[in-house]
Amino acid sequence: MPLLECRGLVRRFGALVAVDAVDMSLDAGKIRAVIGPNGAGKSTVFNLITSVLKPTAGEVIFAGEKITGLPVHVVAQKGIARTFQLCHIFPALTARENVRIAAQARDAQRWRFVGGGRVRNRSAAIADEALEHMRLTRFAGVAAAMLSHGDQRLLEETDRAVRILKGLLGVGNLSVLLVEHDMEVVFKLADDITVLHRGRVIADGPPAAVKANADVRRAYLGGSE
């Protein structure tokens, strides 16, 4: 059973069909990239998965459970985390404190009857482990505002980002669904690729098959058949 499934997702904005009957799945421990030209519907699909938007039709299944239309914070507590192109941090707090707050927010609901001390200790341990895995331990005590934008985003260089993402798959049974415009990264990193064009899936499969797909080349990668 896939970890995440999108079944017949549709999202309309008036007469505009931004997402049109999208079927897509993500297996546990795998990386799936979602690519496509501007306006293809990539961000809208992510908004539907994370409940920022509600679908006009279709459903989202996570770990065997229908999560369509659940509140955003409930979806996050179930284990779906999302990052954005723009950084959202607490600049006056250290890197460790920023990560600890994120971990604590997720655990607070689970441990609300136990007491704050236990939640804080657990989240601090999670923060230290996360910083180590992300190669940011040396910045643990540094105010977030003092980090370079590259360190804040963990995108100092493409090769480093690829290595770290692949390494994370072995930690905590993680899976990754990503939007990336750098095709070099996509073809190095992804186990499977979904290509959107005008809200519809025009190709889905391993990188080699997607790269060779004539429809994909016409719509996005460039080139002729």
- Residue-wise pLDDT for 184-195, tens only, equals 888 888 999 999
- Asked whether residue 147 is assigned to any structural domain, the reply reads no
Answer yes or no: do 12 and 116 share one domain: no
Question: How many structural domains are present in the chain?
Answer: 2
**Residue 58 clears pLDDT 70, i.e. is over it:** yes
Q: Distance between CA atoms of 51 and 35, rounded to whole angstroms?
A: 20
For 38, residues 6+ apart whose C-beta sits below 8 A from its C-beta are: none
- Residue-wise pLDDT for 60-89, tens only, equals 999 999 999 899 989 988 988 887 654 566
Phi/psi for 18 (5° steps) reads -80, -35
**CATH code where residue 15 lies:** 3.40.50.300
Element (H, E) at 207: helix 207-212
Answer yes or no: do 8 and 50 share one domain: yes
Strand-pair category, 57-62 with 31-35: unpaired
Q: Which domain holds residue 17?
A: 4-86+155-221
pLDDT > 70: percent of the chain: 74
- Asked whether residue 122 is assigned to any structural domain, the reply reads yes
Q: Distance between CA atoms of 109 and 183, rounded to whole angstroms?
A: 39
| pLDDT band, very low/low/confident/very high, at 107 (cuts 50, 70, 90) | low
- Asked whether residue 149 is assigned to any structural domain, the reply reads no
CA distances from 210 to 39, 92, 219 (A): 19, 44, 12
| pLDDT band, very low/low/confident/very high, at 174 (cuts 50, 70, 90) | confident
pTM of the full predicted structure? 0.71
In the chain, the amino acid numbered 172 is: G
Answer yes or no: do 128 and 180 share one domain: no
Between 49 and 104, name the one with better pLDDT.
Answer: 49
